[in-house]
Amino acid sequence: MVLWQSDIRVSWRAQWFSLLIHGLVAAAILLLPWPLSYMPVWLLLLSLVVFDCVRSQRRIHACQGEVKLTADYRLRWQESEWEIVGAPWMLTSGMMLRLRDVQTSRRQHLWLAADSMAEGEWRDLRRLLLQRPGHTSS
């Protein structure tokens, strides 16, 4: 039985936050006074920031699609069944779930942003996970 389901879409806040952080790091690299002999290091660092920014945007886009929370508090997402490990880390803007694939035992973190789903779906998911059996609120 499915307790909750949603069609997760790309979070604009997550995209902008990622771009902001990578932009600040790139600006810091560009604005620091580098000696001319450090030009290869400067270029390498700037390239790493740009590639990580692209990778971050791809990862944000990969976290979309249909998600279902079953009665045994497992997530069905990306054609796999995931067990929620421990209590989720919740903020008003989103929650971080630590997941373990039931079949392969592969672990993954999933950031579910509040703006990636309807407001009612977000409220219902928070309520269900906070009322989860064995979950203690602090």
Domain boundaries, the chain: 2-10+65-130, 12-61
CA distance 79 to 72: 17
pTM (2 d.p.): 0.80
pLDDT digits (tens, 9 = 90+) for 105-128: 999 999 999 999 999 999 999 999
CA distance 132 to 126: 10
The average pLDDT across 94-100 equals: 96
Predicted local distance difference test score (pLDDT) of residue 134: 66
SS3 53: helix
For residues 68 and 76, the answer to whether their CB atoms sit within 8 Å is yes
pLDDT at 133 over 80: no
pLDDT digits (tens, 9 = 90+) for 27-73: 999 999 989 999 999 999 999 999 999 999 999 999 899 999 999 99
pLDDT at 14 over 60: yes
Residue 138's pLDDT band (boundaries 50, 70, 90)?
Answer: very low
